[in-house]
Structure 1
Amino acid sequence: MFDTENWPTDRGQVGIGTLIVFIAMVLVAAIAAGVLINTAGFLQTKSEQTGEESSAQVTDRVNVVSTYGDVGNDETVETVNLTVMKSSGAGDINLSTATVEWLGPDQGTILTNGSDADEEHFTVDAIKDVDDTLPVLVKQEDRFRISIDSAALSDNGLGLDEGDDFTIKVVTSSGAVTYEHSVPQTLSGEQAVEL
């Protein structure tokens, strides 16, 4: 049998102290776990948002299919026309909120969408608009024309001369695309030229 007379009598107090320490450790661990879970959730949400924004900056852009200029009687390019479509994988692109940065041989300026092309505005017309959504590029098949009055943006008021270089940057809400162009060396007898 067991000899119960020689057992220590203070063992219960040690057990209660250990239990209090154990409960305190569990509470601290639970609080720390809650903070870690909240932080992980916040970081996951932030990384998803950053990933979507980065993807939009890469894909939600316009693609310039072609650029041509209308030649006036004075043998200068009076209007620059960009045929644009949305890039592969892009979402809807609203050209009414876009800006066009013009850096010509005479001056640089930022143009916004307007009803008439002039020294402050560009226009958007439909070439092919599948769902009649102008000025929003919705379908991959949509083709819109951005027209810029290069005569209004030149110092002489006539337009771009033979051999002039200029840069156009189309800026949408997701990003920008830049195109550099040159006027051909001769415009004699031409009504329109590829730029």
Structure 2
Amino acid sequence: MKANQKFLTDNERGDIGVGTLIIFIAMVLVAAVAATVLIYTTGALQQKATKTSKEATQQISSNIVVEQVLGDRGETSNQSINDLLIRLKPDVGTTSIDLRQVIVTIMDSTKRYDLNYSSEGYNSSNTTNTTNTTYTAIAVRDEDMSFSNTTPVLNSGDLIEIQVSANAIQGIVLAPRKTFWLSLNQELGQAVNLEIATPNSFGVNRYVRLYP
């Protein structure tokens, strides 16, 4: 009788040991799966954080500074402005800016025009060389020779002049006391928005200072 009791006790201990082993193995498997999920999630979050920080840096470090906006009347007898001449440069610390990705928007209370870059060339006296919905540009200062008609890229220290002809904004007549809005929308960074009012009189000068 005592032998049977001892056998039953040993058998119960064996069952408990096997059950404990199964639970232990299950815990190890669950921990391994959880560790794999955590490692994958951490890697994905790290990639997203790196991409987000890079995009945020580009957004902050991409900025266009408009130095001057002139109106070219062509002839001093004209009572309206033919061409808009916009001088701009990259801000301090700005990465390279490709004009092919910059949209120039000009609008008044009734008309709006979104203009894209054209590589056809710049002509300060002839406004018929620019097709509608486009603008052209030349380099005023370009020490590293990075800017050309085919690769209009602005680097630090460059000074570029954009020409918007009357053909591109033919629905907007830039006469005296005219208010219009100018926007430069780049691929990265904040858009530049200007509200410009033409002078009360153009006087006898061919070039009219509009901004600043």
Do both share a fold (TM > 0.5)? yes
**TM-score bin, normalised by smaller chain:** 0.7 to 0.9
Q: Distance in 1 between matches of 2:140 and 2:91?
A: 17
* Gap change, CA 1:188 and 1:152, over 3 Å in 2: farther
Structure 2 match to 1:86: 90
Deviations along 1:71-117, one digit per CA (max 9) or x if unpaired, are 23313211111111112222111112321111135521111111243
Among 93, 102, 116, the alignment partner of 1:112 is 116
Q: Distance in 2 between matches of 1:152 and 1:18?
A: 82
Q: Distance in 2 between matches of 1:18 and 1:88?
A: 67
Q: Distance in 1 between matches of 2:154 and 2:171?
A: 33
Structure 2 match to 1:153: 169
Query: In terms of mean alpha carbon deviation, does 78-87 or 56-65 score higher?
Result: 56-65
Q: Distance in 1 between matches of 2:167 and 2:116?
A: 17
* Gap change, CA 1:105 and 1:13, over 3 Å in 2: closer
| 1:182 CA drift (Å) | 1.2
Among 2, 19, 22, the alignment partner of 1:20 is 22
Q: Distance in 2 between matches of 1:58 and 1:118?
A: 33
* Gap change, CA 1:123 and 1:189, over 3 Å in 2: same
Aligned: 1:183 with 2:198: yes
| 1:122 CA drift (Å) | 0.5
| Residue pairs, 1:56-95, within 5 angstroms | 56-71=58-73, 72=75, 73-95=77-99
Unaligned runs of 5+ in 2: 121-128
Percent sequence identity is 30
Structure 1 match to 2:144: 131
Among 146, 150, 170, the alignment partner of 2:184 is 170
Q: Distance in 1 between matches of 2:198 and 2:167?
A: 13
| 1:133 CA drift (Å) | 1.2
Normalising by structure 2, what TM-score?
0.81
Deviations along 1:146-188, one digit per CA (max 9) or x if unpaired, are 11114652348xx410011111111221142212211111102
| 1:57 CA drift (Å) | 2.0
The answer to whether the Cα contact below 8 Å between 1:82 and 1:146 also exists between their aligned partners in 2 is yes
Instruction: Please identify runs of 4+ aligned residues in structure 1 that moved more than 2 A.
Output: 5-8, 116-119
One-letter amino acid of the counterpart of residue 24, structure 1: A
Among 34, 46, 64, the alignment partner of 1:44 is 46
Normalising by structure 1, what TM-score?
0.87
The answer to whether the Cα contact below 8 Å between 1:106 and 1:154 also exists between their aligned partners in 2 is no
Q: Distance in 2 between matches of 1:97 and 1:13?
A: 74
One-letter amino acid of the counterpart of residue 149, structure 1: S
Unaligned runs of 5+ in 1: none
One-letter amino acid of the counterpart of residue 153, structure 1: I
